Amino acid sequence: MAVQAGTLIILGKTSQQQLDEAISEGLLTQADVNLARDRFLSISNNLQGMSINRKEWDISIKGLDKVIVDSLLEFTQNPAARALVAKTPNQS
């Protein structure tokens, strides 16, 4: 139950029904769910010795629509953001 709840958090969903709908609408795949579950297991220390491939992206909010920026800010308040490290460049 805890793994399922953690997986939902990482995927930004509040219920299994939301997750099922996202999968049926093609917004998420089972591979996405599996990856999120593995990430939850790793960050919760349930898989000792597990290795995860890590990818990094630099995201600039310059020129983004306000709705997108607001969504990103809201995401950073979500527990799923623990799996995300946001780096803000120094501004001069």
Q: What does the pLDDT look like over 63-82, one tens digit per residue?
A: 778 888 787 777 777 665 65
Q: What angle do CA 77, 79, 82 make, to 5 degrees?
A: 95
Q: Where are the domains of the chain?
A: 2-83
DSSP 15: S
Question: pLDDT-based confidence at 17, cuts 50/70/90?
Answer: very high
